């Protein structure tokens, strides 16, 4: 495949924002020759990194560039004589990677490490030399992006390199920022590789690097990587999309006129705003075409509105929805509920009188920086002092080594990844599970039962109570036997939703373990690895946990007589329904069934609607004046010795007669008890249920 086919930026219609900035593509061959041949004076930066310095000063006007000069001279000297497969001097690669990061607004420490990122891997420069010359922080970042030796790891070198980078990213996210920029430049120049190697690198980029760019919020890198991968792995669809964009370029584009209308509306409302038309990148156009079929002119881009303050975003939204026809289904508020990758914006869509529908994004300028550059826009996220342009530009702004570093992104996905990778020593398992983990593109937050802000658990969308158990308790979750979600008892397989409150119920028996079917409901790698490891270590116990499911509930004596219920039907036999076990003073309904008997249900029982639906004859029912009643209770508990004796003793202390009792065999350390009880007074039922719940090991008591 030609270099042009693998580089969407070669086509003006693919990246029109380059034309808007007025910045020409750099001639890296010329820069390489300047790096090798051009002498530089000691008091100024070498000409070869003038573009880097210019881009860096645009974001950090007061940055001290002397450390960049020293880093460049070391990189140029150490790489001298090395050539890339594309024919340029090798120094052009670290220069290009550093320029990418400089344009995103990276601070000086990141750019210094970027210039040096291949020196330890490909030259005689050592980490000790980097540490002595540039400090511990730059040394840590360079070490983080340095590949492991293939001679030591063989076929496992690639997954182990990514494992090393991810662990380093857990301590400093700038490691992954450099890796992403490095991969972007390599993808731009991938056309010189053999087609099969292009495809292999593109697949790894698609499965690992692009999801990481999304998680770190670096949309500017993510979108271009997507286009480059698209061109390599799907050349025919790429060419058809490129032709579609080229055909649109020759037609009238309605978006500039809509943008002018938006400017006029906001100007009349007194809202200071910058309105831009943002063309979609190739993959975005392809996705829209597959979703909507034939595309209209307004589908090839979106309108971006930039304002100063958060409140202005909502003011803009109000004006747009007042002066245009809003498409309500397209509205999303990512300011009130930011995405887990730092992204914040308001998304909406409006219809014009001409029938066009334009998507509109509203955000502040700071939100825009973060939306484009993600963690790169945070500068030095670990600086403890009040950051200024100079402080964040040097390695002296690093944190106190004794102070815990805080991940500037929402820590859920990264913390989960760092936790489970420790349990996956096998490189193939790590590589497979990593791709599956990164394929989860949404995240939810659930709360522990205490409801505190610190009691939150971040999980991928679709996670179950099993995942929450392992996220909170680690291997202790092997003994989990149930959960309450939003106060209601539920099974461990139940999926969780964003904002749920979860109380996990653990067995007291330390030898208990998970069931094999848990793997069908576990979504997180940590849970799946832990469950699989336990099942492999306990093959006999694993077989036992897959035995027959709990037998149907058998209630002895629950149906029998009618207790205190009296039907307005002479000589009719009255039976209290076992499904809802009504007791005085419950509101009840009676229905005539086969044999001339009257079955009595609580008025809100689901069976009442079924009886009426099938045309059962309704019979009036009332309670006798006597206070005694019969009721069936279900008790859920952990399995432990003497539990039945303790429960019956608690029931006896309340003066209640046990008519019958059924105890089912334990399942996953959970035991279900069914009691049919004769109460001397129905008013004592709440106190009886509280007394049964107070028995150690009992976690739920309810009417049958």
Which of 407-416, 555-564, 638-647 is predicted least confidently? 555-564
State the helix-helix crossing angle for 412-421 and 525-537, rounded to 10 degrees: 20
What three-state secondary structure class fits 662?
A: strand
pLDDT at 688 over 60: yes
pLDDT tens for 423-457 read: 777 787 788 878 877 777 677 778 887 544 456 78
Give whichever of 238-242, 417-421, 428-432, 512-516 has the largest mean pLDDT.
238-242
pLDDT at 541: 60
Average pLDDT over residues 56-63: 90
Give the DSSP per-residue string, 595-619. GG-EEEEETT-HHHHHHHHTTPPEE
pLDDT greater at residue 496 or residue 645? 496
Average pLDDT over residues 348-360: 90
Give me the phi and psi of 193, to 5 degrees please: -85, 165
Give whichever of 16-30, 465-479, 613-627 has the largest mean pLDDT.
465-479
Runs of H (alpha helix) within 126-234: 127-134, 136-145, 150-153, 157-171, 174-188, 195-204, 210-215, 219-233
pLDDT at 108 over 90: yes
- Which segments within 219-340 are labelled E, that is strand? 274-279, 301-307, 325-326, 332-333
β-strands 332-333, 346-351 pairing: antiparallel
Residue with tokens 């008890």: 673
For 596, residues 6+ apart whose C-beta sits below 8 A from its C-beta are 572, 573
pLDDT at 118: 93
HEC string of 271-287? CCCEEEEEECCHHHHHH
pLDDT at 492 over 90: no
pLDDT at 420: 76
As a whole number of angstroms, the distance between CA 206 and CA 440 comes to 13
pLDDT greater at residue 20 or residue 113? 113
Question: What b/e sequence results for 613-634 when a residue is b if at least 16 CB atoms lie within 10 Å of its CB, and e otherwise?
Answer: eeebeebebebeeeeebbbbbb
Task: Please indicate, yes or no, whether the overall pTM of this predicted structure exceeds 0.85.
Answer: no
Q: Encoding tokens for residue 19?
A: 């034309």
Which residue, 407, 389, 392, 334, is CA-closest to 367?
334
What three-state secondary structure class fits 57?
A: helix
pLDDT at 363: 95
Whether residue 483 contacts residue 504, with contact meaning beta carbons closer than 8 Å, is answered with yes
Q: What one-character DSSP code corresponds to residue 402? A: T
Residue 675 to residues 558, 642, 663, Cα–Cα distance (Å): 9, 16, 9
pLDDT at 393: 36
| Active site positions, annotated | 121-122
pLDDT at 345: 94
Triad 494, 497, 499: Cα angle to 5°: 130
pLDDT at 204 over 80: yes
pLDDT at 141: 93
Whether the upstream peptide bond of residue 404 has omega within 30° of 0, thus cis, is: no
pLDDT at 512 over 80: no
Whether residue 73 contacts residue 80, with contact meaning beta carbons closer than 8 Å, is answered with no
Q: What percent of the chain shows pLDDT beyond 70? A: 81
pLDDT greater at residue 24 or residue 257? 257
What three-state secondary structure class fits 641?
A: coil
Triad 647, 650, 655: Cα angle to 5°: 130
For 522, residues 6+ apart whose C-beta sits below 8 A from its C-beta are 464, 466, 467, 470, 528, 531
Average pLDDT over residues 198-212: 92
pLDDT greater at residue 247 or residue 268? 268
pLDDT tens for 363-379 read: 999 999 989 988 888 77
pLDDT at 276 over 90: yes
| Band of residue 460 on the pLDDT scale cut at 50, 70, 90 | confident
Triad 425, 203, 183: Cα angle to 5°: 85
pLDDT at 342 over 70: yes
pLDDT at 250 over 90: no
């Amino acid at each position: 495949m030609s270099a042009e086919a693998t580089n969407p930026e070669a086509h003006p219609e693919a990246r029109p924002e380059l034309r808007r900035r007025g910045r020409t593509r750099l001639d890296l061959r010329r820069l390489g020759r300047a790096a090798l041949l051009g002498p530089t004076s000691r008091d100024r930066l070498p000409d070869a990194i003038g573009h880097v310095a210019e881009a860096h000063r645009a974001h950090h006007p007061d940055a001290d560039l002397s450390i960049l000069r020293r880093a460049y001279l070391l990189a140029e000297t150490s790489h001298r004589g090395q050539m890339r497969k594309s024919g340029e001097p090798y120094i052009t690669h670290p220069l290009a990677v550093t320029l990418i990061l400089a344009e995103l607004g990276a601070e000086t420490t990141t750019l210094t490490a970027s210039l040096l990122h291949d020196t330890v891997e490909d030259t005689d420069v050592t980490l000790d030399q980097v540490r002595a010359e540039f400090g511990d922080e730059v040394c840590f970042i360079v070490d983080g992006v340095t590949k492991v030796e293939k001679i030591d790891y063989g076929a496992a070198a690639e997954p182990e390199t990514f494992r090393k980078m991810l662990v380093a990213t857990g301590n400093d996210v700038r490691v992954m920022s450099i890796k992403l920029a490095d991969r972007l430049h390599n993808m731009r120049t991938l056309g010189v590789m053999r087609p099969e190697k292009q495809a292999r690198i593109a697949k790894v980029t698609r499965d690992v690097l692009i999801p990481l760019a999304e998680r770190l919020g670096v949309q500017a890198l993510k979108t271009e990587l997507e286009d480059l991968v698209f061109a390599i792995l799907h050349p025919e669809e790429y060419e058809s999309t490129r032709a579609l964009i080229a055909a649109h370029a020759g037609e009238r584009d309605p978006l500039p006129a809509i943008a002018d209308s938006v400017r006029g509306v906001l100007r009349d409302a007194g809202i200071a705003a910058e309105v831009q038309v943002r063309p979609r990148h190739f993959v975005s156009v392809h996705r829209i075409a597959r979703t909507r079929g034939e595309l209209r002119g307004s589908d090839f881009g979106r309108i971006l509105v930039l304002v100063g303050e958060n409140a202005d975003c909502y003011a803009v939204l109000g004006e747009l929805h007042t002066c245009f026809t809003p498409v309500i289904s397209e509205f999303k508020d990512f300011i009130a509920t930011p995405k887990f990758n730092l992204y914040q914006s308001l998304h909406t869509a409006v219809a014009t009188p001409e029938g066009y529908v334009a998507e509109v994004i509203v955000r502040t300028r700071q939100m825009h920086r973060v939306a484009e550059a993600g963690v790169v826009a945070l500068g030095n996220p670990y600086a403890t002092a009040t950051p200024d342009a100079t402080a964040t530009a040097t390695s002296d702004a690093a944190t106190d080594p004794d102070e815990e570093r805080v991940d500037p992104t929402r820590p859920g996905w990264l913390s989960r990844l760092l936790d489970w990778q420790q349990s996956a020593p096998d490189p193939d398992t790590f590589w497979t599970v990593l791709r599956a983990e990164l394929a989860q593109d949404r995240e939810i937050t659930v709360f522990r039962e205490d409801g505190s802000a610190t009691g939150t658990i971040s999980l991928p969308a679709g996670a179950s109570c099993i995942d929450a158990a392992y996220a909170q308790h680690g291997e202790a979750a092997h003994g989990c036997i149930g959960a309450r979600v939003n106060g209601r008892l539920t099974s461990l397989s139940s999926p969780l939703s964003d904002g749920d409150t979860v109380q996990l119920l653990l067995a007291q028996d330390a030898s208990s373990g998970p069931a094999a079917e848990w793997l069908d409901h576990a979504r997180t790698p940590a849970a799946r690895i832990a469950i699989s490891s336990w099942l492999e270590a306990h093959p006999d116990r694993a077989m036992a946990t897959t035995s027959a499911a709990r037998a149907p509930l058998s209630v002895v004596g629950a149906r029998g007589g009618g207790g205190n219920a009296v039907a307005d039907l002479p000589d009719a036999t009255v039976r209290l329904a076992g499904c809802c076990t009504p007791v005085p003073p419950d509101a009840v309904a009676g229905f005539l069934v086969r044999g001339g008997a009257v079955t009595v249900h609580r008025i809100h029982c689901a069976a009442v609607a079924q009886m009426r639906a099938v045309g059962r004859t309704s019979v009036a029912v009332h309670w006798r004046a006597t206070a005694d009643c019969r009721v069936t209770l279900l008790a859920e508990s952990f399995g432990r010795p003497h539990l039945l004796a303790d429960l019956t003793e608690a029931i006896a202390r309340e003066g209640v007669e046990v008519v019958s009792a059924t105890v089912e065999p334990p399942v996953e350390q959970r035991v279900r008890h069914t009691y049919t009880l004769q109460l001397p007074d129905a008013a004592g039922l709440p106190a009886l249920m509280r007394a049964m719940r107070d028995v150690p090991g009992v976690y739920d008591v309810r009417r049958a």
